[in-house]
Amino acid sequence: MNPLFNFDTMPTRPVVQGPLTGSDVLSVSQFDRDKIEYIFARTREMREMVEQAGTFDLLGDKVAACIFYEPSTRTSSSFISAMQRLGGTVIPITSGVSFSSVSKGETLGDTMRVLEQYADVIILRHPQVGSAKEAAHAASVPILNAGDGPGEHPTQALLDLFTIRDELGQIDGLKIAMVGDLRFGRTVHSLTKLLLQYDVSLRFVSPEILRLPLNLMNSVIDAGVDVRETHSVDDVIKNADVLYVTRVQKERFTDLDQYEEVKNYYKITAETMEMAKEKMVVMHPLPRVGEIPDAVDSDPRAAYFRQAKNGMFVRMALLAAVLGRA
């Protein structure tokens, strides 16, 4: 027996049986209002902890694998920081994936079955719809979906919703306008689905070719939500409590002329902000490429960097929750 290795002093840390213990986080459809409230309460605790102490040893016995089949500096960085601020460690697999196991022909399921031998939780970003579900089917450790192509990006939707709630104190009763690329904008779709559980008014502002997909629009209508579509920010800016602005994603276009035509269609300038309510928030999932000029950043209603920070807190809450520590 290794004399440096004393099993008597090796603690088994307690597991809390919370509502997400051992669960995957694959889709916003998993989150009802109770679960959302639960995660948001944990998120606020995480924020308080980081502000007070920076890091805390809640997950010091845990290792996360963070595997990104497509790069996303923002999302991977916030997950990595989230895990590390809770005392856990990360296996970063954020590049080269396509040249390694994948090029050798391994299935996603097998990659998950191997990674779960090394890690207690797997954070997965993958370009294909349904990949997170497929991964969760294969793995017995929790899978956190960090975006599966045009499919789901539940942690982004939760951080968006948390930001609305945190900035305005409530969700029910709000008038929320989504602006920009509503057709391909995954974050818009996921957030919209979450919002259908609340008593909100929705305004969808986009160029014709980037309107909300039919089936999602029908879900909104079926939910009995007060909803309108429009082409102009001017139609919504006066009454909106939340302006959720998105980038027109160049990489989703096959016709670049069409992209050039619409990309600057919906710019939120200081002048736009003058028309808005005094207590209103401008959000953006970032990166932005001109939709909101830097000059707007100093406006107290510009919440997009606070929103990014909330992403770290929400992911801390989710990591703690699925690992049985919240």
Q: Could you say which residues in the range 64-93 bind a second copy, by CB under 8 A?
A: 65, 67, 71-74, 77-78, 80-81, 84-85, 89, 91-93
Taking the complex as a whole, the smallest distance from the CB of residue 104 to a second copy amounts, in Å, to: 5
Stretch that binds a second copy, among 3-11, 28-36, 187-195, 198-206 (CB under 8 A): 3-11
Catalytic residue among 85, 125, 175, 183: 125
Taking the complex as a whole, the smallest distance from the CB of residue 158 to a second copy amounts, in Å, to: 16
State which of positions 264-323 bind a second copy (CB under 8 A).
286-289, 294, 297, 305, 308-309, 311-312, 320
Catalytic residue among 75, 163, 192, 246: 75
Active site residue 75: yes
Q: How far is CA 160 from CA 28, 38, 155, 217, 285, in A?
A: 12, 16, 9, 20, 8
23 counts as binding a second copy under rule CB under 8 A: no
In the complex with a second copy, the residue whose CB is nearer, 50 or 233, is 50
In the complex with a second copy, the residue whose CB is nearer, 193 or 284, is 284
Two tokens at 11? 């603690």
4 counts as binding a second copy under rule CB under 8 A: yes
Q: What angle do CA 174, 19, 172 make, to 5 degrees?
A: 10
Which listed residue (115, 157, 171, 177) binds a second copy by CB under 8 A?
115
Active site residue 153: yes
| DSSP assigned state of 236 | T
Catalytic residue among 153, 183, 186, 193: 153
State which of positions 34-53 bind a second copy (CB under 8 A).
42, 45, 48-49, 52-53
Taking the complex as a whole, the smallest distance from the CB of residue 219 to a second copy amounts, in Å, to: 28
Catalytic residue among 21, 35, 44, 74: 74
CB 87 within 8 A of CB 112: no
Taking the complex as a whole, the smallest distance from the CB of residue 198 to a second copy amounts, in Å, to: 25
Active site residue 203: no
Taking the complex as a whole, the smallest distance from the CB of residue 192 to a second copy amounts, in Å, to: 22
Residues 6 or more apart whose CB falls under 8 angstroms from that of 284 comprise: 244, 245, 246, 247, 291, 292, 304, 307
Give the orientation angle of helix 154-168 with respect to helix 33-53, to 10 degrees. 80
Number of H-type helices and E-type strands within the chain: 10, 9
From the list 41, 29, 25, the residue with the least C-alpha distance to 326 is: 41
Residue 86's φ and ψ, nearest 5 degrees, are: -95, 10
Quick one: which H or E segment has residue 144? strand 143-148
CB 245 within 8 A of CB 179: yes
Active site residue 62: no
CB 240 within 8 A of CB 174: no
Taking the complex as a whole, the smallest distance from the CB of residue 243 to a second copy amounts, in Å, to: 18
Two tokens at 235? 């139609």
CB 205 within 8 A of CB 230: yes
Two tokens at 296? 């707007």
Active site residue 231: no
From the list 264, 263, 268, the residue with the least C-alpha distance to 233 is: 268
Which listed residue (27, 43, 111, 190) binds a second copy by CB under 8 A?
111
Residue 296 to residue 271: CA distance in whole angstroms: 10
97 counts as binding a second copy under rule CB under 8 A: yes
State which of positions 140-159 bind a second copy (CB under 8 A).
none
Which listed residue (27, 36, 120, 281) binds a second copy by CB under 8 A?
120
State which of positions 232-251 bind a second copy (CB under 8 A).
247, 249-251
- Residue numbers annotated as active site: 74-75, 104, 125, 153
